[in-house]
A and B are shown apart, each in its own frame.
Chain A
């Protein structure tokens, strides 16, 4: 049985940081942990974690993906929820682990993990029902919906619901919001010309909103769109939603 604290909330959660957050956006990972701790949860971060295995899986290298995924599955033995600051990696675990581990000795463990994985904003909204108090200056932001968050993890409304709680944050809709930014993991280096055309358009759409920040819940998109914005000399900056939420609500 899952350990449940007061008001039906879990008492302890695991945090799976993902490799991109680990290496490129560690502050976003810390922010995610802090957002959970602030709600009175104990957060466990297994130090042996690496990557969900998605890069190899998506390229068709299933054996390699399985062996990396297997190393992760073993790290989350307790029935606690696993919170992930990425829609893409949460989607990988939830949707693809069951098939990746089909017929393997650790299939049950993998399915168990898949069943208790949550993307961070989804967890904050749907499980913790957090309420946020904005303590920041007025700012204009726009939201980039990652494809895998929307379509693999089914996370779309939650991050916006959180932003809507912030009184001084104006969320400007992004043109063609549901269109891919062109990252796609290895796609960005296998088909660099097409990927470039996609991210240039995305960066231009971001710039057209006049927002100071483009927020997203996925590191890959942030690297991609952020890099293009910087190259285009745009003043809009990329920011992981976890980091933004913490910044806005942290008491001084």
Chain B
């Protein structure tokens, strides 16, 4: 995305609005997302049926994440120390390029050319598969959804359910096209069995497994990874080398912090009380043990996170546990789907995270692509005030504040927009000016006006708004409503 010299992803005919418009016109996208999101919302709601329990769980989740962030540097040091003591080698990467190099070096040093991967959004940030393939390493996704989109040369459209944009028939056709001797079937169990057959062999052949991390415990040096398919356990236990990737915010202080967070995560994400697998990885195979990798490495990625951390208000972005509930409940995401965002993280959290990672100048469209309805913040299990952050980023994009640490601050300033708000301030900031504006609006507002700009956009599916013939100010005066 946005390599040097390329136009900013937010701009012009290739921007968010154009991609969203294309998605809106695709009945398959509309239907697939609506159906899937309705299902996910219902499942989550069923598990948080008791509002008092929800409030208590969420307050606990938020406080755990807040406490962690307050001591982030110290906890990361502690994590490194404990991991090393457990035999897990820790590598720090400031950029995605550095992280990719770390992974490649580890693989090369061991002659590894075949990798199986568990699901990891950090690896999506790194575009790791493309990088490894370009360096002669086969990198195969083993999460079913990830496997599907990798087969189709796509990126995830959802952080939890990466292939949610595809329905059963589309996956059946894809498998029929791409997998040798796969009999065409639209049956979910048969499709799963086909993928499982391919993947089984790959797990056995793999030289290395790469996975994400849901949280890492500082006091014990434990990597926690939850999943439903067993592919995570296979990727992290079968091959001789396991490389785990995590964003630096994923640390937690104590082991007892883990259960409440996982419980919030699975309920919010998929409406599950618990996932099928909960992997607690605390080191490589010890002498005498019969299985497990011979080496475990943890790559901790910054990629703009420490910059986000510097801003007191925006730092709450880093509380995110990547449950995806905000996207499941987002009326915009539900209609345009994940790919319209052209970002690793789509939906509400993506609109907050992406501009901070890639620059508010380049991605200023994203914070504005929201009606600020607040459905996201309402369901966020760690109380991230997403709408407030969107408003903050809108301000950062258009105004360069002294001392701002936001990447690209002030870089999306538009003179026309600034002028409009100055005029608005004039019109609404003084009673005299407003009297004139409201008089004009009520007297002339019903005259036919050319449908240009905003009015044209508005009237595409609505009749034009018609101002009243007299304002409330006038009516109140007439009815003798006192002024003071």
CA distance A196 to B254 in the complex (A): 48
Q: Check if B430 sits within 8 Å of A194, measured CB to CB.
A: no
Q: Check if A58 sits within 8 Å of B372, measured CB to CB.
A: yes
Q: Check if A188 sits within 8 Å of B457, measured CB to CB.
A: yes
Is A116 in the interface zone, CB < 8 Å from B? Answer: no
Residues of B with C-beta under 8 A to A19: 428
Contact of A187 (CB < 8 Å), options: B370, B431, B473: B370
Is B8 in the interface zone, CB < 8 Å from A? Answer: no
Given contacts A193-B20, A196-B460, A227-B458, contact A29 B332 (CB under 8 A): no
Q: Check if B457 sits within 8 Å of A29, measured CB to CB.
A: no
Contact of A151 (CB < 8 Å), options: B336, B374, B417, B468: B374
Q: Check if B429 sits within 8 Å of A50, measured CB to CB.
A: yes
Is B368 in the interface zone, CB < 8 Å from A? Answer: yes
Q: Check if B472 sits within 8 Å of A227, measured CB to CB.
A: no
Is B378 in the interface zone, CB < 8 Å from A? Answer: yes
Is A148 in the interface zone, CB < 8 Å from B? Answer: yes
Contact of B463 (CB < 8 Å), options: A46, A49, A56, A231: A231
Residues of A with C-beta under 8 A to B369: 187, 190-191, 194
Chain A, residues 188-212, CB within 8 Å of chain B (1/0): the string is: 1111111111111000000000000
Q: Check if B458 sits within 8 Å of A188, measured CB to CB.
A: yes
Is B465 in the interface zone, CB < 8 Å from A? Answer: yes
Residues of A with C-beta under 8 A to B430: 71
Residues of B with C-beta under 8 A to A59: 368, 394, 398, 417, 421
Within 8 A of A (CB), among B442-475: 442, 445, 453-454, 457-468, 470-475
Q: Check if B476 sits within 8 Å of A47, measured CB to CB.
A: yes
Within 8 A of B (CB), among A197-244: 197-200, 223-224, 227-228, 230-231
| Chain A residue nearest in CB terms to B432 | A48
Given contacts A29-B475, A180-B371, A193-B21, contact A24 B461 (CB under 8 A): no
Q: Check if B431 sits within 8 Å of A227, measured CB to CB.
A: no
Is A170 in the interface zone, CB < 8 Å from B? Answer: no
Q: Check if A22 sits within 8 Å of B458, measured CB to CB.
A: no
Q: Check if A60 sits within 8 Å of B396, measured CB to CB.
A: yes
Residues of A with C-beta under 8 A to B473: 17, 22, 47
CA distance A208 to B373 in the complex (A): 23
Q: Check if A147 sits within 8 Å of B374, measured CB to CB.
A: yes
Residues of A with C-beta under 8 A to B418: 61
Contact of B371 (CB < 8 Å), options: A26, A44, A61, A184: A184
Q: Check if B336 sits within 8 Å of A43, measured CB to CB.
A: no
CA distance A173 to B17 in the complex (A): 33
**For chain A, which range describes its interface: under 10, 10 to 19, 20 to 34, or 35 or more residues?**
35 or more
Is B375 in the interface zone, CB < 8 Å from A? Answer: yes
Within 8 A of A (CB), among B367-426: 368-375, 377-378, 391-399, 417-418, 421-422, 424-425
Given contacts A33-B476, A45-B483, A64-B421, contact A191 B20 (CB under 8 A): yes
| Chain B residue nearest in CB terms to A48 | B431
Within 8 A of B (CB), among A30-53: 30, 33, 42-51, 53
Residues of A with C-beta under 8 A to B399: 60-61
Q: Check if A24 sits within 8 Å of B331, measured CB to CB.
A: no
Residues of A with C-beta under 8 A to B394: 58-60
CA distance A60 to B387 in the complex (A): 12
Is A21 in the interface zone, CB < 8 Å from B? Answer: yes
CA distance A29 to B478 in the complex (A): 13
Residues of B with C-beta under 8 A to A10: none
Contact of B424 (CB < 8 Å), options: A21, A42, A55: A55
Q: Check if A51 sits within 8 Å of B428, measured CB to CB.
A: yes
Q: Check if A231 sits within 8 Å of B461, measured CB to CB.
A: yes
Residues of A with C-beta under 8 A to B471: 22-23, 26
Contact of B374 (CB < 8 Å), options: A23, A152, A188, A193: A152
Residues of A with C-beta under 8 A to B476: 15, 17, 29-30, 33, 45, 47
**Further contacts, 20 of them, CB under 8 A, given A64-B422, A191-B332:** A17-B476, A19-B428, A23-B438, A23-B441, A33-B476, A45-B481, A47-B477, A47-B483, A49-B431, A51-B434, A53-B428, A59-B394, A60-B399, A64-B425, A68-B425, A147-B374, A150-B374, A180-B331, A223-B462, A231-B461
Q: Which 3 A-B pairs have the closest CB atoms?
A: A184-B371, A227-B462, A60-B394
Question: Could you jot down 19 A-B contacts, CB within 8 Å?
Answer: A23-B441, A24-B465, A27-B475, A30-B472, A42-B482, A56-B421, A56-B425, A58-B391, A60-B394, A61-B398, A61-B399, A61-B418, A71-B428, A180-B373, A187-B368, A188-B371, A194-B332, A227-B459, A231-B463
